[in-house]
Amino acid sequence: MSHIVAPSILSADFGNLQRDVEMINQSKAPWFHIDVMDGVFVPNISFGFPVIKAINKHAKKPLDVHLMIVQPERYIEDFKNVGAHVLTVHYEASTHLHRTLQQIKAAGMKTGVALNPHTPVSVLEDILIETDLVCMMSVNPGFGGQKFIENTYKKVTQLKQMIKDKGCQTLIEIDGGVDLNNYKKLLAAGADVLVAGNTVFSSTDPLKTIEALMQ
C-alpha cells in the first residue's frame, strides 16, 4: 500500500476554512486530520462539533479525527454524526480502552489509539488486534509547529515488528513535526500515514508540498 498524507486542519486559516478545505480536496492528500483539544488533557483548546460539521460539509475525503480529550467515550456517537471516519482516542486518556474501541467500531468508524511520546509501544500488546490505526505522537500533543522527537523512529520500528508478529493490518500514523527532511526516514521505518500541519500550511505552495510528501 502506498502511504497516506493527512494535512492537519489545526494549521489552516480558520478565517478561510472553506478555502483551505477545498485546497485539500484538490490536493493529492487522501485524508484530513482533525485535532480536537479540550484544555484538560492538553494545554490548548482547538474546536468542536460545529466546526467539524462545517469542515465535513465541504470535505470530499475521509476525516481522521484525533481526540486529545479526557473521557473520549462520552462523545463517540457525536463524532460519528459530524462525519468522523477514523476516531482516535489517547491511550493515556482511556481507562477502559477495549470497551471504547468496541463502541467506536459499533458506531461504524475505524478505531485509532494515540500514544504520547513517553508511552512505550509495549502497552499496545493486548489491544493491537482491535486497533485499525496507531497515532504515534512525535511531539507532545497540544500544538502545531513543534520540533520532531527523534526517539519516534525507534518506536515505529518496534511497533511495525509487533504488527507483523501479530499478523494485524494496523496502520502506523506519525503526528507532529513531520517535514520534508524526515518523512522518507519515517516511511522507511514503517509509517503508513503522515500527519502534516505546519509543513503544509506554512508552505508557499501547499499543493506542491503535499505532492512532495506523497512521493
Contact residues for ligand DX5 (CB under 6 A)?
A: 8, 10-11, 33, 35, 66, 139, 141-146, 175-178, 195-199
Select from Zn ion, ligand DX5, none the partner in contact with residue 62, using the beta carbon and a kind-dependent cut-off of 5 to 8 Å: none
Instruction: Answer yes or no: 35 catalytic.
Output: yes
Instruction: Answer yes or no: 175 catalytic.
Output: yes
Residue 85 sits at φ, ψ, to 5 deg, of: -100, -50
From the list 26, 105, 113, the residue with the least C-alpha distance to 66 is 113
Beta carbons of 22 and 54 less than 8 angstroms apart: no
The answer to the question of residue 66 lying near Zn ion (CB under 5 A) is yes
Beta carbons of 37 and 68 less than 8 angstroms apart: yes
Select from Zn ion, ligand DX5, none the partner in contact with residue 198, using the beta carbon and a kind-dependent cut-off of 5 to 8 Å: ligand DX5
What is d(CA 215, CA 207) in angstroms, rounded to the nearest whole number? Answer: 13
What is d(CA 184, CA 68) in angstroms, rounded to the nearest whole number? Answer: 27
Select from Zn ion, ligand DX5, none the partner in contact with residue 7, using the beta carbon and a kind-dependent cut-off of 5 to 8 Å: none
Residue number with CB closer to ligand DX5 (20 or 175): 175
The answer to the question of residue 35 lying near Zn ion (CB under 5 A) is yes
Smallest distance, Å, CB 78 to ligand DX5? 19
Which residue in 20, 64, 132, 175 is the catalytic one?
175
Which residue in 20, 35, 64, 192 is the catalytic one?
35
Q: Torsion angle, CA of 31/209/190/37, rounded to 10 degrees?
A: -50
From the list 158, 130, 187, the residue with the least C-alpha distance to 5 is 187
The answer to the question of residue 155 lying near Zn ion (CB under 5 A) is no
Select from Zn ion, ligand DX5, none the partner in contact with residue 10, using the beta carbon and a kind-dependent cut-off of 5 to 8 Å: ligand DX5
Catalytic residues: 35, 175
